[in-house]
Structure 1
Amino acid sequence: MDKAFSQTDWSLIRAFLAVAETGSLSGAARSLSQSQPTLGRQVKLLEEQLGLRLFERQPRGLALTPTGESLLEPARAMREAFHQLNLRAAGRDERMRGTVRITASDVVARHVMPQIVAKIRRIEPDIQIELVPTNESENLLFREADIAVRMYRSTQLDVITKQIATAPMGIYAAKSYLELMGTPDAIEDLLNHTIVGYDRDDRIIQAMREMGWPVTRDFFAVRCDDQNTYWELVRAGCGVGFTQQSFAEHDPLVQRLMPALVLPALPVWLAAPEAMRSTPRIKRVWEMLEEEICEVFEGVNLDATAPSG
């Protein structure tokens, strides 16, 4: 069995893992960006090559048979070895040309990264950039991204991290909202205003509780977890909201409230696989990201310390 397994096409093993870990052909197809019929054929071919039944159909998808369960860990070990092989080979690529895949949060990807990517392309036209907006933790060691821009430090082993800046936060409301509801002058006044909150994310609730306000989810009349949509709700006049000063300060539709109140800033980290960090094109993009992101957020910090009026 081990011999047959070792001679099997890697794409079939990958299909097996995707179905096993998602529990369905449809979920596996989404995770691998393939069609469901293709995944179905690959799983069937793997079972024929091994002469084994790996899955059994359940009301809500596919479940591993005991035999399939026994092959799961060896298949995962093969995946890890395959990714390490690609990672080390890519890390020795000495060319400046090629693709660099960057992942960043939805907000940073929309409001901070476009101008930076444009500058990278102007200066290094042979480097192609893939930008992945997501609030999920992309697995750097599986080449889901080459560089991550994160508001927290990566805890993955064999990943290089560096905090490059801090992102100041502020309290904002649309000018249209303030014309109707008035402008709060003190933090306590916010309790008399509509605050746009998160849906399942409890960070705003926890922050307000730390300030002595035992609010619950129902305190927020408007709720949304998607950060870009959240900001559009604030801009539209749905209530008071919290976001990064780096882009909010330039928005003509909103006004910053209580600028003297200093909110906890978000740390900004870069992360990359250690095996890839010295690859010329990735090293170059890392350096430019560090310089440009620092300039964005340092400019906000300097503005925040400047006298108002």
Structure 2
Amino acid sequence: MNREPDWALWRSFAAVVANGSLSGAARELGISQPTVGRHVETLEADLGLTLFERSLTGLKPNATALRLFDSVSRAQALLAEASIVAQGALDDFGGTVRITASEMISNHVLPQLLLPIRQRYPRIAIEIVPSDSAENLLLREADIAIRMFRPTQLELVTRRLGAIELIAAAHADYLARRGTPRSMTDLLEHDLIGFDRSDAIETHARSIGLALTRDNFKLRSDSQTHLWALMLAGLGIGFGQARLVASTPGMVALPIDLEIPPLDVWLTTHRELFTSHRIRAIYDALAEGLETYINGKAPFR
């Protein structure tokens, strides 16, 4: 009679299916390639089934393996959920809280917000994931997320904190060299800083009657932190958060209303994690700090 396979064998099996090779699975799991190979062989022996076709290019899962992979993937998600519930049950102000936010918020806003939070909760370690992609709170990639869109998963607790005003701005050094534009059409005579692959700025410009094209942007990047660095260096006119412009020495808001849609800010965590004292404490403190930043209730720097 075959024995019930250990969960470690299933983890290795799922990693091989997902990566298509023993080496890829080993890298994902942080174990050796021979160990992954033994896990796969043991699983097949325990089940009495052949799950992979072996070839020089790797392991190809057969139809049975693919059916099993669906079930194992669901089990992994449920175990991640169980881990979240366990974290939510913790009842102290120690431990770690993992926060994910956009590159701009992480690099230019969070450091100031974390100063009073660290003073208030010195035993809580903070991990920060600067990312413009949407880390999945449901798979425990973060405890708290600062989003520029409203998450829709029912398992999440979400709070809208306000909207960040976006404006055209430039460094005083650039304006001293080139002059200050006073109208939308004046912008066409200046060096603009904008996105490389995204056409979001051009699309909005056309909606308000400004004939901007890619050629108007003399410096392009898809990294918003890099675009901000180019603006700080005095290389041209770009677009940024009004509060950040106002609080950054040398940066000047331009006297042009481009009707840029503001960025909504949402603070999000998992419903179960909201019962953790440390996560609730950091969540509430972040909400307070972000609302101050967004609404300009006090000096930011």
Under TM normalisation by the shorter chain, which class is it? 0.7 to 0.9
User: What do the CA deviations read for 1:171-216 (whole angstroms, capped 9, x no partner)?
Assistant: 1112222222221101121122121111223322222222234544
Mapping of residues 101-250 of structure 1, within 5 Å: 101-213=98-210, 215-250=212-247
The alpha-carbon distance between structure 1 residues 279 and 245, as it changes in their structure 2 partners (threshold 3 A), is same
Which ranges in structure 2 are unaligned for 5 or more consecutive residues?
45-49
**Of 277, 283, 295, which residue of structure 1 is paired with 2:274?**
277
The alpha-carbon distance between structure 1 residues 100 and 9, as it changes in their structure 2 partners (threshold 3 A), is same
Task: Give the number of aligned pairs.
Answer: 294
**Of 247, 250, 254, which residue of structure 2 is paired with 1:253?**
250
- Structure 2 residue matching 1:249: 3-state secondary structure: helix
C-alpha RMSD of the superposition: 2.7
Tell me the TM-score normalized by structure 1: 0.85
User: What do the CA deviations read for 1:125-147 (whole angstroms, capped 9, x no partner)?
Assistant: 12111111111111111111111
The match for 1:41 is 34
Tell me the TM-score normalized by structure 2: 0.87
Matched letter for residue 120 of structure 2: I
- Give the Cα–Cα distance (whole angstroms) in 2 for the partners of residues 140 and 41 of structure 1: 32
User: What do the CA deviations read for 1:237-260 (whole angstroms, capped 9, x no partner)?
Assistant: 222100112222122232211165
Which ranges in structure 1 are unaligned for 5 or more consecutive residues?
304-309
The runs of 4+ residues in structure 1 deviating greater than 4 Å are 22-32, 55-59, 259-262
The match for 1:93 is 90
Q: Does the CA-based 8 Å contact 1:117-1:129 persist in structure 2?
A: no
- Give the Cα–Cα distance (whole angstroms) in 2 for the partners of residues 218 and 22 of structure 1: 41
- Give the Cα–Cα distance (whole angstroms) in 2 for the partners of residues 68 and 114 of structure 1: 47
Q: Does the CA-based 8 Å contact 2:22-2:37 persist in structure 1?
A: no
What percent identity do the matched residue pairs reach? 36
The match for 2:47 is none
Matched letter for residue 41 of structure 1: P
- Give the Cα–Cα distance (whole angstroms) in 2 for the partners of residues 128 and 112 of structure 1: 18
**Of 6, 9, 15, which residue of structure 1 is paired with 2:7?**
9
- Give the Cα–Cα distance (whole angstroms) in 1 for the partners of residues 74 and 206 of structure 2: 44
